[in-house]
Structure 1
Amino acid sequence: MSNIKLIIEERASNIGNFMVGRLLPFREKRMVGPFAFIDHMGPVCLNDHENLDVPPHPHIGLSTLTYLFEGSIMHKDSLGNEVEIKPGQVNWMTAGAGIVHSERTPAYLRHSEKMLHGLQIWVALPKEIEKMAPEFFHVESNDIPSWESDGISFKLIAGAAFGKESPVPVYSPLYFLELKTKERKTVKIGDDLFGESGLYILEGAIESEGYTYEPKQLLVAKDSKLCEFVMQENTTVYIFGGTAFPEERFIYWNFVATTKDIIEEAKTKWLEQSFDNVPGEADFVPLPEQGRSIKN
């Protein structure tokens, strides 16, 4: 029997003035471990008058992880951070009780052609700290654990696995790994993973028990400890997952919480514009129409 429990196809979604490929949440699988949301951005070439502009918007109850393959994003938040995100770096913002941030093309790139390609991820917080004070960390690419094994290049972008630990300060047991190979290789993960596990194919293809899977597919495993597959030539995959929470999570817009009441509080707070502001930013993303339901 195949170890693949579910295949999720990347779905187009509009995040304002930019199209992304949405992987999570999915109607049959809302979360994988603590991972609640994954968007694949690009690859897209923006011309000299096209830019990424996501005005200030709020988050609660989660950590965001931005990881770029190409391009650059300027991050500004209500804690006063202003950081340019470049390929290979990790932008880790923990919202907790509430944070506001904007994401834009940096000023020096706004009048030139540029590429943008990467992943944006939400990791839900454990119930006991979902209202913690917001935090922000930026990790340089050379601080991410990287190693080679049997012709496969590994990066541990966040969490812990293979006896290694990323400097990204996560708040629950999880892992987010990059695997790359130029040659056809068999991967046997064994006991190095735990909890729920998903595999996203960025480029190339993998083979598992007679089936071939290609880019823009997210494969959710039945058992992370039975993770074995063949990577074809010039393949890059991302494996993520971890220990699932005992409680369900509700998702509305940019809010993740263990109760609908917490989300209602956040909605009211944003409508009243009583979240802290992003310094130097005057516009904002309005709350979606009130008729939308809170998803679980």
Structure 2
Amino acid sequence: MSNTKLIIEERAANIGNFLVGRLLPFRQKRMVGPFIFIDHMGPVNMNDKENLDVAMHPHIGLSTLTFLFEGAIVHRDSLGTEIEITPGAVNWMTAGKGVVHTERTPERLRQSQKKLHGLQIWVALPKEEEQCEPTFTHVEADEIPSWNEDGVEFKLIAGKAFGKQSPVPVYSPLYFIEIKSETTKTVTIGEYLFGESAVYILEGSIISDNHTYGEKQLLVAKDSTLCSFEITANSTVYIFGGESFLEERFIEWNFVASDKNLIERAKKDWKNNKFPSVPNETVKIPLPEQNLHVLEDKKLIKNKQYENRKTRSF
């Protein structure tokens, strides 16, 4: 019997000069463990006049995880953080009761040809941590646990698995794992996983239960403890998941909460300029007039609406 419960195709859209593929949320699967939002951004080539410039926007009730394959982004936030993230490193920002940030192309790259490619992930916070003080952590690429087993390369980007622990300071039991192989290999890791689990195929393909799955597919497992597949040569996949929460999570614009009242309060606070500002930033993105998540599964969405969604993509 197949262990694949659901197959989610990456839903692509042009956002200005960026290509973003929405993976979560999905109409049939809002979350996988505590993971509530995943975008595959790029790959995109930008010329000397094209740059990433996402102005000030707020978050509550979640942690953001930015992981780049190519390019660089300067992160600035209302805590006073200013740091450049490059491929293989992790930016982990916990919004808690409220944080504001921006993402921009570094000055050193703004007048040159460049690429941008990576994953932007939101992890919902446990109910008791939803209103915690905001924090920011940067973890360099060489601090991420990495190892080789029988020619297969593993990285534990966040969480706990395989008897190892990432230095990324997560708030609930979860895992986010990179697996690469230059040759075709069988990967059996179910004994190390728990809760809900999903596999995202970035490059190449995997074979599971006599079915071949290719790039830009997200496979949600029926049982994480049965996770076993054949990874084909020159493939890269990501395994993520963990323990689900007992309470439902609501998501609107950049806000996540177990209580809709927290989201309504955050919306009012953003309109009324009650969120903190990012030092040396002046432009803020206004609250959209409608909940853009309602539109996420429609295939034809006006470009203007996607321009607004850019505030949630990085």
Q: Under TM normalisation by the shorter chain, which class is it?
A: over 0.9
The corresponding residue for 1:237 is 237
Is the 1:57–1:284 Cα contact (8 Å) retained in structure 2? Answer: yes
Task: Name stretches of at least 5 consecutive residues in structure 2 with no aligned partner.
Answer: 296-314
SS in 2 for 1:274: coil
CA deviations 1:102-122 (Å, max 9, x no partner) are 001011101100010000000
**TM superposition shift of 1:220:** 0.3
The corresponding residue for 2:213 is 213
- Distance 1:15-1:289 versus aligned 2 partners, 3 A rule: farther
Q: Distance in 1 between matches of 2:294 and 2:30?
A: 13
CA deviations 1:198-240 (Å, max 9, x no partner) are 1000001000111100010000000000001000000000000
Q: Which amino acid aligns with 1:231?
A: I
Q: TM-score, normalised by structure 2?
A: 0.92
SS in 2 for 1:286: coil
Q: TM-score, normalised by structure 1?
A: 0.97
Q: Distance in 1 between matches of 2:167 and 2:291?
A: 41
**TM superposition shift of 1:190:** 2.7
The corresponding residue for 1:202 is 202
Is the 2:19–2:43 Cα contact (8 Å) retained in structure 1? Answer: no
CA deviations 1:219-263 (Å, max 9, x no partner) are 000000000100000000000000000000000000000011110
**TM superposition shift of 1:12:** 1.9
SS in 2 for 1:167: coil
Q: Distance in 2 between matches of 1:191 and 1:44?
A: 37
Q: Distance in 1 between matches of 2:194 and 2:293?
A: 33
Q: How many residues align?
A: 295
Q: Distance in 2 between matches of 1:4 and 1:224?
A: 10
Q: Distance in 2 between matches of 1:110 and 1:51?
A: 6
- Distance 1:290-1:8 versus aligned 2 partners, 3 A rule: closer
**TM superposition shift of 1:290:** 4.3
Task: Name stretches of at least 5 consecutive residues in structure 1 with no aligned partner.
Answer: none
- The alignment-based identity, stated in percent, is 68
**TM superposition shift of 1:17:** 5.6
**TM superposition shift of 1:16:** 6.2
Is the 1:201–1:238 Cα contact (8 Å) retained in structure 2? Answer: yes
- Distance 1:240-1:30 versus aligned 2 partners, 3 A rule: same
SS in 2 for 1:158: strand
The corresponding residue for 2:44 is 44
Q: Distance in 2 between matches of 1:3 and 1:226?
A: 7
- Distance 1:13-1:251 versus aligned 2 partners, 3 A rule: farther
The alignment's C-alpha RMSD in Å is 1.3
**TM superposition shift of 1:294:** 7.7
